[in-house]
Structure 1
Amino acid sequence: MSLIPSASPNPNPTNTKSIRIALIAGEASGDRLAADLVRSIQKKTAGLSFFGMGGASMRAAGVHIEQDFAGLSVVGIVEALWHYRRLRTVLERMKRMLASQRPDLLILVDYAEFNLRLADYAKSIGLKVLFYVSPQLWAWRPSRIHRMVGRIDGMAVLFPFEVPYYQAVGIPVRFIGNPLVDDVRPSGTVEQLRQSFGLGLAKEKPILGLFPGSRESEWRRHMPTLLQLAEQMMAKGVQPVVSVASGLEVDEIEQARRHPGIQWVRGRSVDLMASCDA
């Protein structure tokens, strides 16, 4: 399965049309996966350009962000219904983007419910569609795979046991592994990391890492309890440090940052995990 178009070498020197790839990611994990994919493609194929929906990681990888995914990450049907109007507006905007720019390939990264609807539209206007990161068919609602037949031209999966699901229905599939495994490595020693945060953490006091989540709903649901825990632990001489996901922007972050004694680190969850005591 090879859907990535090649732009180099150019068999027709008079044809200067750039090959363009659209990517759609709707949350932080997909943003990182898409960014890693773009960098991998760029190493192998020159002359491609990338645009679409994503966040800070994709932007840093050179993707032109037409739509930031801030505020679009939802969990479950209740949250999807709550944000339905905004999701619908963005979906229609992405349809117009595809219709006007007509990329050579559309890569849909995870975010299944939104992206399957966009895949349906993309196929209706004749675009090639690659789905990257399989929905967890093996965990729940395996019948969802039938929605993909005819909607996508290929599937790239993170786990080898997912391959037979797509082979059984005739969808071209390739196991590519999970590139985020390589990202789960700290960028330095514990001492180096603590200094790099620039928080003035005391060496003699233990550090408690708090990880509310990368979605707005997770932050609002988890943070009040975590702040109560942080206040209790500070009374025992522990230094709480909260991890704020890249691209997460909610009013409650600034409100929570006003709590005295609680420190904050943005976009460095792996480094914080490696450097905290608990």
Structure 2
Amino acid sequence: MKIHWQHSTIDSFNFAGRDYFVKRDDLLTPLNGNKARKLYGLLDAYDLSSYKRVISHGGAQSNAMLAIAQLCKLLNIEFHYYTRTQPKWLKQTPNGNLKQALACGMLWHINDSGLPLNTETSLDTLYIPQGIAMPEAELGIQKLADEIKTFCDTQSLEDIAIFQPSGTGTTALYLQQHLPYTVYTVPCIGNSDTLTQLFKQLLPNATRYPVILESEKPYHFGKPYPELLEIYQSLNNASGIEFELMYDAKTWLVLKDWKCDLPILYIHNGGVSGNNSMLARYRRLGFS
């Protein structure tokens, strides 16, 4: 399977009085965002056609879930995905990324732990950790770093601040290993302590970790907040680019008030397929 890397251009726009560059990994096809980067390494490391099934686990609206489901559909492989117990209405009427993943043929398993019974890769089963947080993810992220360095050379930029959201932190962590520039990231699931622990679990001996910046107030992941919707709408109006409502919106709240004299490159990690279900939640709460 070929990923069309040339689609990931770098755009620029002004927001709240400051200029930004945006790396458009959301435009990658047939998979997009940082999940395309992570899965690229998986495709290089494994002959996926030799497996009968893939198993993974995580949230019911996970971007990684959808990306793996799309990949398995393209390769005609069974995909078994495990979540914790979900609301009855979601099981009866799936929406967002879950609906799309099920349409790709994903087999959805629900239990109290949200984990498969066996997390070992075998001759016919490939296990992918939550968020595709695995060493094989590094290859595609290294390619992203190379593209960023080429851009900076072309633009004669000696230094630049790289900014992106983090879930498991895999993309930010590996990106920092292959860039001379500092990678700044905002934890969107948990806090800086949680993210630091994830960094050290994946690369305990790294010589450098990304710099973690936190929002002034805590945000519960996946919960609607009016200020997140507001900045999502403002970004769309300013840039003409659709950003993601749970990761990007929180990250831009931090970024817009962050003091920095360097040029800033924001990594758009995709994931906008989940916006429709999130926007519906905002509408039900009376926000528009």
Q: Same fold by TM-score, threshold 0.5 exceeded? A: no
> Could you say which structure has the greater relative contact order, defined with CA pairs below 8 angstroms and 6 or more residues apart?
2
Q: TM-score, normalised by structure 2?
A: 0.31
Q: TM-score, normalised by structure 1?
A: 0.32
